[in-house]
Amino acid sequence: MSQKVTKPITLALSKGRIFDETLPLLKAAGIEVLQDPEKSRKLILQTSKADVRIIIVRATDVPTYVEYGAADLGIAGKDVLIEHAATHPGALYQPIDLQIAQCRLCVAVPKGFDYEAAVRQGARLRVATKYVSAAREHFARKGVYVDLIKLYGSMELAPLIGLADAIVDLVSTGNTLKANDLVAVEDIMPISSRLIVNRAALKTRRAELQPLLDVFEQAG
Ligand code: AMP
């Protein structure tokens, strides 16, 4: 007689802060992750529950794995979700805010650059960022003309080397800005990480997912 083999519940996480801050939430659900992604090169991590596994992907890829159902659940920053939603609107189930990996999305400029005066004078600013959608919306709301330059990392370098007047980046302690003689001049929004759920899995695997959803919901 053939036995029905069910796919384990798959949770997509990125290494670093999100992984580290998700561990206590999983522990509260009685789930221990059996490998450390900082020590192991494995990308599929087993847990103490045979029916729950973790996959380790790039932060910006988490929404994609969940949208296409390769992962049932994922945890991603609001910054990443805003950029994903710009090209895939409505693709993901309304996320639960887990209040982890908190930071701020800010506009920053080199020390001594009078951002307010430039804005008042209607100057057209060049802004380098990884967060093009969030930045576009912010400056449009303020009525500031900007040319957005998409970068994939090291945004702090752009104003120092003449690529841009300003950057839009995540700020946590502020140490990275300080080390590069930049100052935050505007807060765009607070950022935290959210649980996202595959729309189909939510319908077809609701009973299996519910205990995990409950634990995550309590964290939020
Ligand atoms: P900090 O020096 O602590 O202000 O951190 C700023 C650097 O860390 C920037 O390069 C940010 O892009 C990155 N960063 C800070 N917080 C987060 C976060 N919650 N998620 C992803 N990247 C972050």
Task: Say yes or no: 62 and 126 in one domain.
Answer: no
Residues 6+ apart with CB under 8 A from 184: 104, 106, 107, 108, 171, 174, 177
Total count of domains within the chain: 2
pLDDT band for 220, please (50, 70, 90 cuts).
Answer: confident
Q: Which DSSP letter does residue 32 get?
A: -
Q: Indicate the top mutation candidate among 171, 175, 177, 188 to test ligand 1's pocket, ranked by most ligand atoms within 8 A of CB.
A: 171
Classify residue 93: in a domain, yes or no.
Answer: yes
Strand locations in the chain, DSSP E? 9-13, 44-46, 52-56, 73-77, 93-110, 125-129, 146-150, 166-171, 182-197
Q: What is the DSSP letter of 2?
A: P
Assessment of whether the complete model's pTM goes beyond 0.85? yes
**In this structure, are residues 193 and 77 in contact, taking their beta carbons and an 8 Å threshold?**
yes
Per-residue confidence at 5, pLDDT binned at 50, 70, 90?
low
CATH number for position 206:
3.40.190.10
Task: Please write the tens of the pLDDT for every residue from 55-98.
Answer: 999 999 999 999 999 999 999 999 999 999 999 999 998 779 99
> For residue 87, is it within any domain?
yes
| Cβ density class 158-188: b for 16+ within 10 Å, e for less | bbeeeebbbbbbbbeeeebbeebebbbbbeb
* Element of type H or E holding 139: helix 132-142
Rg (CA), the chain: 20
Q: Do residues 163 and 152 lie in contact, with contact meaning Cβ atoms separated by under 8 Å?
A: no
pLDDT surpasses 90 at 147: yes
Task: Pick the range with the lowest mean pLDDT from 4-8, 22-26, 44-48, 172-176.
Answer: 4-8
Whether residues 95 and 203 fall in one domain: yes
185, 200: one domain: no
Shared domain for 158 and 56, answered yes or no, is no
Q: How far is the CA of 2 from the centre of ligand 1 (A)?
A: 50
Domain assignment of residue 197, given as a range = 9-101+192-219
78 domain-assigned = yes
> Which of 17, 102, 103 has most ligand 1 atoms within 8 Å of CB, for mutation?
103
Same domain, 92 and 199: yes
pLDDT at 168: 98
27 shares its domain with 132: no
Six-digit token string for 179:
């080390």
Pocket of ligand 1 (CB under 6 A): 17, 77, 101, 103, 169-176
187 and 198 inside one domain? no
Tell which atom from ligand 1 comes closest to the C-alpha of 154: 10
Tell whether 3 is covered by a domain: no
